[in-house]
């Protein structure tokens, strides 16, 4: 897409624009240059997954363009990066006839099916060995895009294949879809593209965590999430879902009349390459050209193994005859092309029976219905318990005890009940009654307006106390190894541990008399508890389990204070001035610090030796790793992950989230997976072991 010279030029221009920090607008002669710079950085971020700019630097440049355009509205172009933003709500999604019918694909489930497909292709074409292009079958929602004279003019859903719904405004929220592309370089005037919109596993998880934190129903799975998102009437809401798109087919085109011939693309693989060159996220890196069906079968099997390591869901592979002339010869049925077939991976759905529903009390008092089902084996694990999230989910799905249900488990996504089979009901199924009182302490349950979750408001509720202790000790909070769910429950029942403070006052003599507790395990537990006392302040804030205060907010809060009890004096307004803190979060923090028993708990924790002060880490800036970036993958043998990361930071290094060309060191522990594979492909990254890391920082 960009030659080395162009990249160099864009980077120099970027630096120049960033330097003019004070400037609030720019000369009109520079406006298109600035747009190109923003497009380039969007491309690096959304297509290559390798950003060169920090978010705030991108924002600075974006605002500069926005301001200049606002002052000169006649200069706004339809493909300006600012034109993704929509004004107001979408009223309706008018019907949109496709230029070429959006056919489906024939399915295959095993190697015999693929061998049959290959035989049919060879018979019709009369060619002995066929070249195929194999690419992932993205598990999302199908879309069509029309570009005219290089501009994106219309986007639509698949609908019935003949016409879909017009969703252009929503599609513009997807940053990996360019608003314009140089089709004219290929003599193309009008093109219709096909692709798939998806939400990657990470963003899906994040979105659902936010939803549940706010007491809202989470989305069922990434596929439904993508499909549902395309039909939301508020484009701002669509943008929040962080959708992505893969584009894999040109289904229709017209050529520019004055030029001699249209695109001379002879192979499907070259078309994928051309789309990539035009700035689309096509499966350029994921596809493979293979000769003969045996090689295809092997590639499909290999891909099925690494399926879970991909950042997005795929439900199979698509096998396409690579030669476009042969594709034409093979033609299509009314349902699918004869030159392509989908190879579906083993199902991650199964049927089971809904035996009962239990109601669990969370640490913030939320009541979560949990379905107990007859155990089923799906995608490598046995599932017997599935969260139903809230009362509305039970009603929307019309679930009854005794129902035969369809269960799904997509990759590392938590299992989900898709639907009951109403047609299989015998009449003996029983309605599910939501409790009116807390199953743990019998207090009456409340539900706030506009919330879907019922809550027990009693602070003394034993179930909440246990959950709060579990959360406090958990890995991302105070990381007290060994003090897991089962042990907290057991200690609570034995009255050895009744609240968070109790962790630091445990009677180890009494614990020693319990079954299964040897000297060694007691020593380990003592050490883990002691070590937790020096956890940094942001971990303690997160560990307190204040409603709506996740890890990011905890870090933001810690940065604004010298001592945790300073927060007592923060007003709602003061809190809302902090990054990431809105009115809901601020209200919850104020509420926490208004309770005297919470203050007393914090004072006692400090007396017991916990770190309530914001101790600035002493950073060594002279060491070997100053300003070097690090990422850890796999399980480390000698260090805890948090210790290792801490060592990097105290030695002047920087922890990063993902593998990119900006990463200097990948430290590999046991069973490392996709990060290692990715890093191997970037030659500048140094891949080192845990021991080598310790040597590097002079610890061994
Ligand atoms: S090719 C004529 N390629 O799977 C072209 N489809 O079950 C036909 N899909 O409707 C489509 N990944 O929405 C093609 N790499 C891929 C695909 C893909 C996902 C979807 C597509 C299609 C459905 C059929």
**Which string of DSSP letters, residue by residue, matches 587-638?**
HHHHHHHH-HHHHHHHHHHHHTT---B-PPPPPPSSSTTTT-EEEEESB-SS
Atom index in ligand 1 nearest the CA of residue 137 equals 12
Pairing of strands 340-344, 106-108: parallel
Q: Classify burial at 571, counting beta carbons within 10 Å of its beta carbon; exposed 0-12, middle 13-18, buried 19 or more.
A: exposed
Atom index in ligand 1 nearest the CA of residue 136 equals 15
pLDDT at position 208 = 81
Active site residues: 137
Average pLDDT of span 42-66: 89
Among 202-211, 309-318, 616-625, top mean pLDDT goes to 309-318
CA atoms within 13 A on the CB side of 488: 25
pLDDT digits (tens, 9 = 90+) for 489-519: 999 999 999 999 999 999 999 999 988 888 8
Atom index in ligand 1 nearest the CA of residue 102 equals 2
Q: What percent of the chain has pLDDT over 70?
A: 97
Q: Residue whose CA is closest, atom 6 of ligand 1?
A: 137
Pocket test for ligand 1, best of 98, 102, 138, 250 (most atoms within 8 A of CB): 138
Pocket of ligand 1 (CB under 6 A): 103-105, 135, 137-138, 142, 194, 196, 248-249, 318, 337, 340, 342
- For residue 329, the CA-to-ligand 1 centroid distance in Å is 20
Instruction: Tell me, yes or no, if the pTM score tops 0.85.
Output: no
CA distances from 67 to 28, 29, 32, 59, 72 (A): 12, 15, 14, 12, 9
- For residue 332, the CA-to-ligand 1 centroid distance in Å is 14
- For residue 168, the CA-to-ligand 1 centroid distance in Å is 20
Atom index in ligand 1 nearest the CA of residue 141 equals 13
Provide the token pair at 583: 């009115």
Pocket test for ligand 1, best of 145, 158, 342, 343 (most atoms within 8 A of CB): 342
**264 has a pLDDT exceeding 70:** no
Atom index in ligand 1 nearest the CA of residue 135 equals 15
The pLDDT-based confidence of 41 (bands split at 50, 70, 90) is very high
Which residues, other chains included, contact 496 with Cβ-Cβ below 8 Å and sequence gap of 6+? 502, 506, 507, 510, 511
Average pLDDT of span 29-50: 92
pLDDT at position 101 = 93
How many CB atoms are located within 10 Å of the residue 290 CB?
A: 20
3-state secondary structure of 221: coil
Q: Are 494 and 390 in contact (CB under 8 A)?
A: no
Q: What percent of the chain has pLDDT over 90?
A: 68
Atom index in ligand 1 nearest the CA of residue 283 equals 15
Among 111-115, 226-230, 569-573, 639-643, top mean pLDDT goes to 111-115
Average pLDDT of span 441-469: 93
Q: Indicate the average pLDDT of the chain.
A: 91
Which residues, other chains included, contact 201 with Cβ-Cβ below 8 Å and sequence gap of 6+? 222, 311, 312, 313, 411, 412, 413
Kind and range of the H or E run holding 668: strand 665-668
Pocket test for ligand 1, best of 101, 196, 245, 319 (most atoms within 8 A of CB): 196
**412 has a pLDDT exceeding 70:** no
Of the candidates 630, 632, 647, the one whose C-alpha atom is nearest the C-alpha of residue 700 is: 647
The more confident residue out of 209 and 602 is: 602
Average pLDDT of span 63-89: 91
Q: Residue whose CA is closest, atom 18 of ligand 1?
A: 137
Q: Are 337 and 442 in contact (CB under 8 A)?
A: no
pLDDT at position 426 = 95
- For residue 580, the CA-to-ligand 1 centroid distance in Å is 39
Q: Distance between CA atoms of 584 and 572, rounded to whole angstroms?
A: 10
The pLDDT-based confidence of 269 (bands split at 50, 70, 90) is very high
**658 has a pLDDT exceeding 90:** no
- For residue 271, the CA-to-ligand 1 centroid distance in Å is 15
- For residue 104, the CA-to-ligand 1 centroid distance in Å is 7
Per residue, the 3-state secondary structure of 497-539, as one string, reads CCCCHHHHHCCHHHHHCCCCCCHHHHHHHHHHHHHHCCCCHHH
pLDDT at position 411 = 58
The pLDDT-based confidence of 90 (bands split at 50, 70, 90) is confident
pLDDT at position 22 = 67
**261 has a pLDDT exceeding 60:** no
- For residue 105, the CA-to-ligand 1 centroid distance in Å is 6
pLDDT at position 309 = 82
Q: Residue whose CA is closest, atom 22 of ligand 1?
A: 104
pLDDT digits (tens, 9 = 90+) for 291-345: 999 999 999 999 988 887 888 989 999 999 999 999 999 999 888 999 999 999 9
Overall size of the chain counted in residues: 700
Provide the token pair at 524: 């380990």
Provide the token pair at 535: 């956890």
**263 has a pLDDT exceeding 60:** no
Kind and range of the H or E run holding 327: helix 324-330
């Amino acid at each position: 897409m960009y030659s080395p010279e162009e990249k160099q030029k864009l980077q120099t221009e970027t630096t120049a624009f960033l330097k003019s920090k004070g400037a609030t607008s720019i000369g009109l002669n520079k406006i298109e240059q600035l747009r190109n710079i923003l497009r380039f950085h969007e491309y690096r971020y959304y297509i290559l997954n390798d950003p060169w700019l920090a978010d705030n630097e991108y924002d600075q440049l974006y605002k500069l363009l926005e301001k200049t355009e606002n002052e000169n509205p006649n200069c706004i172009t339809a493909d300006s990066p600012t034109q993704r933003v929509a004004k107001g709500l979408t009223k309706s999604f008018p019907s949109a006839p496709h230029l070429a019918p959006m056919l489906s694909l024939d399915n295959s489930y095993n190697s015999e099916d693929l061998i049959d497909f290959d035989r049919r292709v060879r018979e019709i074409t009369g060619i002995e060995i066929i070249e195929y292009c194999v690419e992932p079958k993205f598990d999302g929602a199908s879309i069509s895009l029309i570009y005219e004279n290089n501009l994106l003019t219309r986007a639509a859903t698949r609908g019935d294949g003949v016409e879909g719904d017009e969703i252009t405004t929503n599609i513009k929220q997807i940053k990996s879809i360019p608003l314009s592309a140089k089709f004219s370089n290929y003599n193309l005037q009008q093109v219709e593209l096909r692709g798939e919109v998806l939400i990657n596993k990470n963003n899906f998880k994040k979105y659902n965590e936010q939803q549940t934190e706010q007491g809202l129903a989470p989305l069922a799975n990434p596929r439904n999430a993508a499909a549902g998102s395309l039909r939301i009437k508020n484009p701002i809401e669509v943008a929040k879902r962080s959708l992505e798109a893969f584009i894999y087919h040109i289904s229709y085109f017209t050529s520019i009349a004055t030029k001699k011939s249209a695109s001379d693309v002879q192979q499907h693989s070259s078309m994928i390459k051309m789309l990539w060159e035009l700035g689309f996220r096509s499966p350029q890196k994921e596809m493979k050209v293979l000769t003969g069906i045996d090689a295809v079968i092997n590639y499909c099997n290999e891909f099925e193994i690494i399926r879970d390591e991909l950042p997005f869901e795929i439900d199979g592979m698509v096998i396409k005859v690579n030669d476009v002339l042969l594709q034409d010869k093979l033609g299509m049925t009314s349902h699918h092309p004869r030159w392509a077939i989908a190879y579906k991976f083993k199902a991650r759905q199964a049927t089971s029976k809904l035996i009962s529903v239990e109601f669990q009390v969370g640490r913030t008092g939320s009541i979560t219905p949990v379905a107990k089902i007859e155990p089923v084996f799906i995608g490598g694990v046995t599932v017997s318990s599935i969260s139903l999230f809230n009362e509305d989910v039970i009603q929307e799905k019309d679930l009854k005890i005794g129902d035969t249900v369809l269960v799904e488990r997509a990759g590392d996504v938590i299992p989900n009940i898709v639907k009951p089979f109403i047609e299989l009901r015998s009449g003996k199924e029983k309605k599910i009654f939501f409790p009116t009182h807390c199953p743990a302490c019998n207090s009456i349950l409340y539900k706030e307006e506009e919330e879907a979750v019922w809550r027990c408001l009693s602070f003394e509720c034993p179930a909440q106390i246990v959950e709060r202790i579990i959360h406090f000790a958990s890995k991302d909070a105070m990381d007290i190894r060994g003090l897991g769910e089962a042990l907290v429950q057991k200690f609570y029942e034995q009255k050895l541990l009744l609240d968070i403070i109790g962790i630091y006052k445990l009677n180890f003599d009494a614990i020693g008399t319990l079954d299964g507790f040897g000297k060694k395990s007691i020593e380990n537990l003592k050490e883990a508890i002691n070590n937790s006392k020096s956890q940094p302040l942001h971990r303690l804030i997160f560990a307190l389990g204040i409603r709506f205060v996740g890890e990011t907010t905890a870090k933001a809060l810690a940065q604004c204070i010298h001592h945790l009890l300073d927060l007592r004096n923060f007003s709602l307004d003061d809190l809302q001035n902090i990054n990431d803190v809105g009115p809901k979060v601020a209200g919850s923090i104020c509420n926490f610090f208004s309770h005297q028993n919470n203050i007393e708990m914090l004072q006692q924790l400090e007396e017991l030796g916990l770190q309530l002060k914001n101790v600035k880490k002493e950073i060594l800036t002279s060491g070997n790793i100053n300003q070097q970036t690090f990422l850890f993958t796999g399980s480390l043998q000698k260090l805890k992950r948090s210790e290792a990361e801490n060592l990097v930071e105290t030695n002047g290094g920087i922890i990063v989230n993902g593998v990119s060309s900006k990463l200097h060191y990948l430290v590999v522990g046991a069973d490392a997976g996709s990060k290692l594979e990715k890093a191997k492909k970037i030659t500048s990254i140094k891949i080192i072991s845990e021991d080598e890391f310790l040597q590097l920082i002079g610890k061994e």
